[in-house]
Amino acid sequence: MAFLDGLSSPVINAFKNFLKQWEPKNELQNPHLTALDKQYDGAKFVVTVQEDITKPLNRDPSIKEKWEESLRDKPVENKAVMGQCSISGEYGPIARIHDKLTGIPGGDTCLTCMKTSAFWSYGHKESYNSSVSQEIMKKYT
């Protein structure tokens, strides 16, 4: 909830109120969630307010700005491989492992997979060949 400190909009305030009252252990008996059965695994939920369901929490401009700011301000690991991102053109830490994409028919998948030496070149191994920054990888996954 600390992430939401200093932010305010109808959907943000509604979500803050929800979090204050939410008891996760009670969700084990929630008939709407238990009816999902195996579909619940990996399910995604969207937070909106009834007054305007077209503006979900993750699309709120102040949330989006703070999230992107937190990605930019994240400290870089000492061992991070630095380079130019092939998508954004920005210089920064390159993602070694790309998170899996979910919600795609056929199961979890990823966009880059360069585990064998056949895909390595210019002294770059594994997904460093794709030169996608950690920031962009987090955004697309």
In this predicted structure, what is the pLDDT of residue 37? 79
Query: 141 versus 7: which is more confidently predicted?
Result: 7
Question: Global pTM?
Answer: 0.52
Model confidence band, residue 16 (pLDDT cutoffs 50, 70, 90): very high
Q: What average pLDDT does the segment 4-24 reach? A: 92
CA distance 101 to 77: 24
pLDDT recorded at residue 138: 84
Helix segments in the chain, DSSP class H: 10-21, 31-34, 61-72, 134-140
pLDDT digit string (tens) for 100-136? 776 666 656 666 666 677 766 666 667 777 788 888 8
pLDDT digits (tens, 9 = 90+) for 78-104: 678 888 888 998 888 888 777 777 666
CB neighbour class for 78 (10 Å; exposed up to 12, middle 13-18, buried from 19)? exposed
Q: What is the pLDDT of residue 98?
A: 77
